[in-house]
């Protein structure tokens, strides 16, 4: 029985890693489409979200099966219920990749007057956070999870700096308003991706220690 349970837990880990990779791919696709104003890629990123939604359903079904069939207790119960919560945050990250791509489409009418470099940095940081948070779950790595939570400060600082720069641009010239406010939205979605990666890391800590550490 335990052997079968272990195999099912192994399957859960593998599916989480796969979902993590798909999310990484979605953010990268959305980020590239945004940087290069590539509408075809943006549309691809939007439709890719359906795949991530489906993965959430599949993992959810697996977790429910494990909970009902195996009636796990203590650590195993925490592990599975944490996975159940994590996938909600993972799915939301997929939503935000689609949101970013919707913004890319609505900004397609005009070339960028404002360079989106700093937003690209946010993309790199958040992709890193997502990968590390999922790996922390799979490897039961408390330190890695804490690292992710700490790292969110960097994303928040990047967001504040993007925001201030965009506010300056609007303040200095109203003609920047339309594009700057759209870029602000994109930056906000990346900042939210960082929040969700932080939530994932908090669930990792809960699954290992049984307590919730607030950042």
Q: Which of 36, 171, 209, 213 binds a copy of itself (CB under 8 A)?
A: 171
Q: How far apart are CA 141 and CA 139, in angstroms?
A: 5
* Cβ atoms < 10 Å from Cβ of 205: 20
81 binds a copy of itself (CB under 8 A): no
170 binds a copy of itself (CB under 8 A): yes
165 binds a copy of itself (CB under 8 A): no
Q: Which of 108, 113, 167, 215 binds a copy of itself (CB under 8 A)?
A: 167
164 binds a copy of itself (CB under 8 A): yes
**In the complex with a copy of itself, which residue's Cβ is closer, 141 or 178?**
178
39 binds a copy of itself (CB under 8 A): no
Q: How far apart are CA 52 and CA 166, in angstroms?
A: 32
SS3 category, 214: coil
Q: Which of 92, 132, 151, 196 binds a copy of itself (CB under 8 A)?
A: 92
Give, as ranges, the residues between 127 and 146 that touch a copy of itself (CB under 8 A).
none
**In the complex with a copy of itself, which residue's Cβ is closer, 5 or 112?**
112
Q: Quick one: which segment of 9-17, 35-43, 123-131, 165-173 binds a copy of itself (CB under 8 A)?
A: 165-173
Burial (CB < 10 A; 0-12, 13-18, 19+), residue 214, is exposed
Closest alpha carbon to 18 in 58, 65, 77:
58
The angle at the Cα of 159, spanning 123 to 84, to the nearest 5 degrees, equals 60
Question: How many residues belong to the chain?
Answer: 215
SS3 category, 72: coil
What is the separation, in whole angstroms, between the first and last Cα of the chain?
Answer: 38
188 binds a copy of itself (CB under 8 A): yes
185 binds a copy of itself (CB under 8 A): yes
192 binds a copy of itself (CB under 8 A): yes
Query: CA 128 from chain center: how many Å?
Result: 10
Which chain residues interact with a copy of itself by CB under 8 A?
53, 57, 60, 88, 92, 95, 99, 163-164, 166-168, 170-171, 173-174, 177-178, 181, 184-185, 188, 192
């Amino acid at each position: 029985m335990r052997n079968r349970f272990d195999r099912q837990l192994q399957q859960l880990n593998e599916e989480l890693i796969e979902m993590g990779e798909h999310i990484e791919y979605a953010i990268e696709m959305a980020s590239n489409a945004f940087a290069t104003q590539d509408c075809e890629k943006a549309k691809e990123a939007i439709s890719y979200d359906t795949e991530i939604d489906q993965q959430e359903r599949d993992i959810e079904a697996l977790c429910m099966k494990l909970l009902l069939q195996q009636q796990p207790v203590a650590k195993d119960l925490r592990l599975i219920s944490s996975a159940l919560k994590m996938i909600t945050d993972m799915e939301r990250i997929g939503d935000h990749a689609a949101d970013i791509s919707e913004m890319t489409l609505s900004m397609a009418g005009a070339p960028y007057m404002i360079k989106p470099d700093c937003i690209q940095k946010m993309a790199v940081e958040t992709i890193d956070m997502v990968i590390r948070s999922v790996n922390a779950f799979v490897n039961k790595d408390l330190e890695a999870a804490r690292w992710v939570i700490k790292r969110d400060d960097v994303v928040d600082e990047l967001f504040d700096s993007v925001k201030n720069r965009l506010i300056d641009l609007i303040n200095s010239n109203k003609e920047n308003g339309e594009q700057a406010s759209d870029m602000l939205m994109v930056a906000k979605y990346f900042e939210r991706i960082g929040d969700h990666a932080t939530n994932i890391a908090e669930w990792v800590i809960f699954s290992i220690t049984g307590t919730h550490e607030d950042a």
